[in-house]
Every structure is written in C-alpha cells, then in structure tokens.
Amino acid sequence: MMKLGVVGGGAWGTALAQVAAGGGESVTLWVLEDEVATSINADHVNALYLNGISLSPAIRATRELADLATCDALLVVTPAQHLRSVLAGLPIFNTPLILCAKGIEAGTGLLMTQVAAEAKPDAPIAVLSGPTFAHEVAAGLPTAITLACADAVLGQRIAERIARPGFRPYLSDDLIGAEIGGAVKNVLAIACGVAEGAGLGQNARAALISRGFAEMTRFGLARGARIETLAGLSGLGDLVLTCSSTSSRNFTLGKGLGEGMSASALLAHRRTVAEGAFTAPVLRDVARDAGVEMPIVEGVCALLEGKVSVSEMIDALLARPLRPE
Ligand SMILES: NC(=O)c1ccc[n+]([C@@H]2O[C@H](COP(=O)([O-])OP(=O)(O)OC[C@H]3O[C@@H](n4cnc5c(N)ncnc54)[C@H](O)[C@@H]3O)[C@@H](O)[C@H]2O)c1
Ligand SMILES: O=P(O)(O)OC[C@H](O)CO
C-alpha cells in the first residue's frame, strides 16, 4: 500500500487527506497553522478551513515538513503562489509529487509542473485536477477527477490508491492540459461571478462559459495541451462547476465585483484563496507574449486592477468586432 502524505491543510488538502484515509490508512497532513494541527489531532476537524466535516482519525496533522520524508508519494495542495517555497523546504528528492494547486506562478509565468521541476528536478510529477468542491469530496459525494501522469505505471498506482466508491480518478498523460484547465477556469469564474453580481442574466453566463472555453482552448493548444483534456473533467468540467456556484471562491469574488465592490476590499484580510485573482494578470501577460487572444481574461484583469468599471468591462466585450465562432 502506497504511503501518502499531504502538503497543505486548507480545504482541499484536508479533503484529499480524508480521501486518502478513506480505507483506514494512516495519512500525514502538513499544515501551516498551529490551530489547524491542534484542531485536527485533538478533535478530528479542520475548524478553520473545512468546518462541519468529521475527519478520519487516521489523519495525523504535523507542522514539520520532515515528517513527510518517509512517504511514498505526496499530494501537494498549497496555493499556487506558495508551491515553490513549500517544495524548497521539503526534505525529499525523488518522491513522486501529485500537484493539486490551480494557478500560474506570478513573476515567472510558470505552470505548477514547471515550478515543481525546478524545485525538485528528480521527483516524478503528476497533476490531479477537476470539478471538485472540497466540502463535497470530504462528505463523500460522487466526484470524478483527472489524474495526469507521464509514467503510466505510477499513474495507475496512484489512481488505485486514491480511488474510492465516490471518488473516481480518470487517467491521462497530458499534464499540461490538466493543469491549464484548472488555472484558467478560475479567472473565467471571476467573470461569470461579475455577470451574476451585475444581474446580467443566464444567457450572459452561458456566453461567458462558451467564449471562455474558447480562450482556454486557444491558450492550452498554444502551450501543447490536448483538446480532449481541455474538453474533459479538468477543463470544461471544472469551468462549468466553478462558473455556476457561489460555493466557488472565484465566482463569489467576481459576484462582489459585479455588485460594485473593489477588488482590494474583497481581497483584504481573506484567509481562503481565490486563485484567479493571482493568476489573472500573469495569465494575461503570458497569453499576450504567446500571441493568444483572451479578451475575457483581459477584462477580468482590468476590473481587478480598478482600470475599468463593471459596465465598461462588459461594454468592451460586447463591442468587439463580429467574427466567426
Ligand atoms: N477548495 C477547493 O474546493 C479546491 C478544490 C480543488 C483545488 N483547489 C486548489 O487547491 C489549492 C489550495 O486551496 P485550498 O482551497 O485548499 O486553500 P484554502 O483557501 O482552504 O486555504 C488557504 C491555504 O493557504 C495556506 N497558506 C497560506 N499562506 C501560506 C504560505 N505562506 N505558505 C504555504 N501555505 C500557505 C493555508 O495554510 C491554507 O492551507 C488552490 O490552488 C486551489 O485552487 C481547491
Ligand atoms: O472555490 P474555487 O473557486 O477555488 O473552486 C474550487 C475548485 O477549484 C473547484 O473545482
């Protein structure tokens, strides 16, 4: 039995620890905050990030990265902007890393697989991504997810280790496709939240999802992703989920913007992460550099930066030249 560790005790890391411990196997979960470690070890809950879920007693929280050194593989679930620093502190070399963050690194424009390859060049890499609200997964509700791994044997071993009756990984070898879907959909979910907050109606949301998927596809194909991955769970599947629900932090951030609040007010003092706010400007920049048109992403950036009002953002999208679909 593969001994799994989890790096990151937010909502998703905790939910994945719950999945990994589902058969009673012991799981070590590295968390940043003392209060999270105490809450998990003493009361089997993560009151700060995943309140209301009874956690398996087989999950042991630690604040020491060194405690993960004996694991056979690690689910890495820190926010995207903290991946590099946390990996740098991990005392492992060739332990397989299953990357679960959805974002692009600010400053470098690197995807999560590229950051991991720089930080841990000898570690085999997999990507786990899909339409997966943490509280539903932790509650055991049915969920399907993409597990992308270049090494088919390793991918199969990981899939068998994490599969549960209600948690179904689908295997792929397209790591770039799997990670691009998750990173881009967060920015598009902000746009859909804006439409919701501004009361623009269901037609507008469907248009943003469809035209957003066209942007995701253009960007993904330019980076070497495969169309079937972008159209699968980790791309279109996650886009539809995140663009349709106030359970999404990104959608909710956009909704606040659409209601007229500023990004700085909405992002100040928040504990949980809305990855799209960090990914939007770096995605815009790397897309521009690659000559990929992403008008919805451009609009989200301008709104987050306070350069346009909500109505100016919408007007700019609607005033674009008519063109073939
Ligand atoms: N929540 C979900 O439903 C869900 C589902 C799939 C993927 N994800 C992805 O998982 C990743 C983690 O999100 P989450 O929802 O678990 O987080 P969260 O919003 O629940 O919690 C924030 C996390 O950030 C950590 N953090 C804050 N500062 C840090 C630092 N300096 N170094 C390291 N960690 C730090 C906190 O300890 C905490 O674990 C994100 O990329 C997210 O997009 C989330
Ligand atoms: O709450 P969000 O917007 O970070 O979305 C959570 C997951 O990524 C959904 O798959």
**Percentage of the residues of the chain whose pLDDT score is greater than 70:** 100
Q: Let me know whether 40 and 186 are in one domain.
A: no
For residue 101, what is the domain's CATH number? 3.40.50.720
215 and 95 both lie in a single domain: no
Give the pLDDT confidence of 57-77 residue by residue, as tens digits: 999 999 999 999 999 999 999
* Total structural domains within the chain: 2
Numbered residues of the known binding site for NADPH: 12, 49, 102, 134, 249, 273, 275
Locate the DSSP E strands across the chain. Answer: 4-7, 27-30, 59-62, 73-76, 97-99, 125-129, 143-149, 167-172
Give the pLDDT band of residue 269 (cuts 50, 70, 90): confident
Cβ of 241 less than 6 Å from ligand 2:
yes
pLDDT: which is higher, 264 or 269: 264
Whether residue 161 lies inside any domain: the answer is yes
Domain-ending residue, one of 144, 173, 202: 173
The residue from 173, 206, 241 where one domain ends is 173
Answer yes or no: is 324 within a domain. no
Q: Is the pLDDT of residue 80 over 90?
A: yes
CA of 9 to the centre of ligand 1 (A): 7
pLDDT one-digit tens code per residue, 142-171 = 999 999 999 999 999 999 999 999 999 999
Same domain, 114 and 162: yes
Active-site residue, selected from the candidate residues 3, 185, 255, 307: 185
- Coil vs helix vs strand at 60: strand
Look at phi and psi of residue 54 and say left if phi exceeds 0, alpha if psi is from -120 to 50, else beta. Answer: beta
> What's the mean pLDDT in 240-251?
97
185 is catalytic: yes
Same domain? For 256 and 157 the reply is no
Q: Does 148 share its domain with 12?
A: yes
Looking at 131, 152, 173, which one is the last position of a domain? 173
Is there a single domain that holds both residue 157 and residue 224? no
- Tell me, yes or no, whether 150 and 256 share the same domain: no
Q: Looking at the structure, do residues 129 and 240 belong to the same domain, yes or no?
A: no
Whether residue 245 is contained in a domain is answered as yes
* Residue 1 pLDDT greater than 90, yes or no: no
Helices 295-304 and 310-318 pack at an angle, to 10 degrees, of: 160
User: How far, in Å, from the CA of 57 to the mean position of ligand 1?
Assistant: 22
Residues 196 and 299 in one domain: yes
Residue of higher predicted confidence among 23 and 148 = 148
Dist. CA 322–CA 319, nearest whole Å? 8
Domain co-membership, 166 together with 34: yes
Residue 17 falls within a domain, yes or no?
yes
Annotated binding site: 8-13, 49, 102, 130, 132, 134, 185, 238, 248-250, 273, 275
The answer to whether residues 241 and 266 belong to one domain is yes
| 22 lies in the same domain as 136 | yes
Q: Tell me what percent of the chain is helix, strand and coil, each rounded to the nearest 5.
A: 50, 15, 35
Domain that holds residue 272: 176-318
The per-residue pLDDT for range 250-264, each reduced to its tens digit, is 999 999 999 999 999
Whether 323 is covered by a domain: the verdict is no
CATH of the domain at 250: 1.10.1040.10
Share of the chain above pLDDT 90, in %: 99
